[in-house]
Amino acid sequence: MKDGLVIVDKPGGMTSHDVVARLRRLAGTRRVGHAGTLDPMATGVLVIGVEKATRLLGHLALTRKEYEATIRLGQTTVTDDAEGEITAAVPAGAVTREAVDAGIAALTGDIMQVPSKVSAIKVNGVRSYARVRGGEDFELAARPVTVSAFVVRDVRREGDDLVDVDVTVECSSGTYIRALARDLGAGLGVGGHLTALRRTRVGPYGAGLARTLEELAESFAVLPIAEAAAAAFPRWDVDERAARLLGNGVRLDAPPTVGAEPTGVFGPDGRFLALVEGREGQARILANFA
């Protein structure tokens, strides 16, 4: 089995762990892991590492994410999405497109966001969703996130009382799309929750690279580790002597282009050798793949 990433188009109804378990069977190895989870109801891009590429996952700066989502105005749920019980309903039929646009503008840019209570955030060592299930009453602190784009694609009336808003969101890691739905509805005074969510990009890996589990079952292949690393990190090409020294764990003098962020090192044959960071003029090895 080659080392590399698999960009999976996750189906709805499966957890990220379910996808990893399926990939282990398809790949014939236990060395499979994921880089960030998707909720069971969500579909789309899930980055999976196979064999040596599992050591790449923790260094991937997957800070930019893109989603397509549907927000339903007029209902509030306990989970801020369609999987939770409806806790309140306020007719949204009178909500105008102008009001929706104004509400979305207020949630765009650098904002403070209170995560959904059914998130995996730990509160005093206990997952927030576990506290909710236990009936505990608590509040989560707001956190800074960046919503770089929040664009309305369509607005549809669902009967007299509900409005569905299709949106595209580009945001920083740690942003909860469910919380955006909740806060948009709250700002409009009618409540809101998420009814559909599809992730279309994680870092440099977009939906165009993603393959369904059915496609992978028919023909399993990975995105080669060198190609995956070249897409995600700044590149430093070294000669054969430096490649040999790096393979033996020797620190090399770092060029000015190698800074504090991870840099991928490639040999003269294009082989991916290591991830390094610049420190005091030297290239400190973060992970050796030679």
- CB within 8 Å of 47: residues ≥ 6 apart: 5, 7, 8, 34, 35, 36, 57, 60, 62, 202, 203, 205
Report the run of H or E that residue 24 belongs to, with start and end: helix 16-27
Identity of the amino acid at 101: D
- Residue 7 and residue 45 in contact, taking contact as beta carbons nearer than 8 Å: yes
Assess contact for 72 and 88: CB atoms under 8 A: no
Contacts with 287 (C-beta within 8 Å, 6 or more apart), sequence order: 55, 56, 59, 274, 275
Does the annotation mark 154 as catalytic?
no
Question: How do beta strands 272-279 and 235-237 pair?
Answer: unpaired
116 neighbors 123 (Cβ within 8 angstroms): no
Contact present, 258 and 35 (Cβ < 8 Å): no
- Scanning 40-115, the segments in alpha helix (DSSP H) are 54-57, 97-106
CA–centroid distance for 5 within its chain: 15
Q: Running DSSP on this structure, what letter comes out for residue 130?
A: H
Catalytic residue among 9, 39, 80, 183: 39
Q: What positions carry a catalytic annotation?
A: 39
